[in-house]
Structure 1
């Protein structure tokens, strides 16, 4: 069965709303995403002193990694979009959208 990961970099809209952002992400968004059958894992990370790793630190200090296993890797991505559109994946205005979150999808090759 094909496997992939969806990587999403985000940040709160402001430092004052960081607690709200983290609460929404952990208590609402992640459970909503984990409810999609092909999502086998969903985890969040916070950047740690990027200056030691790269000269150009990320402008988005939070990272979510969603592991996907599906016969057709496009199906769970389409399901995420459908659930976002109909409200089953809840959104929050505590997430910065300008610039928008950075997304990348990777398919396992080895």
Structure 2
């Protein structure tokens, strides 16, 4: 079984809508993505200095990581997600799909 991840960089549409953006992302958007076949977990990061995008990492598992990603993008194009104008769309969020090649852990 292949493993991979979808990495998304996004920002609130304005500073005064940051709380609304955060709530929508965690309460609505991440659960919608995790409901799709092949998505198994999600994490979200914020910049320590407050400058820069939030980064969300969605872990994927399945026979074909590319097919999982294509299915999610098709779902988005067909209006399958409840989007919020509290997220900046100009420029749009940056997305990248990666497939795992190596997995090492530090010996304890």
TM-score (norm 1): 0.84
Higher mean displacement: 88-97 or 21-30: 88-97
Higher mean displacement: 74-83 or 91-100: 74-83
Q: Is the 8 A contact 1:84 1:91 kept in 2?
A: no
Q: Which residue of the partner structure matches residue 59 of structure 1?
A: 52
**Counterparts of 1:89 and 1:107, CA distance in 2:** 24
How do 1:10-21 and structure 2 match up within 5 A?
A: 10-21=10-21
Query: RMSD over aligned Cα, in angstroms?
Result: 1.6
Structure 1 residue runs of 4+, over 3 Å off? none
How do 1:9-88 and structure 2 match up within 5 A?
A: 9-49=9-49, 59-60=52-53, 62-88=54-80
Q: Per-residue displacement from partner, 1:34-58 (whole Å, max 9, x unpaired)? A: 10121011111111138xxxxxxx6
| Gaps in structure 1 of 5+ consecutive residues | 51-57
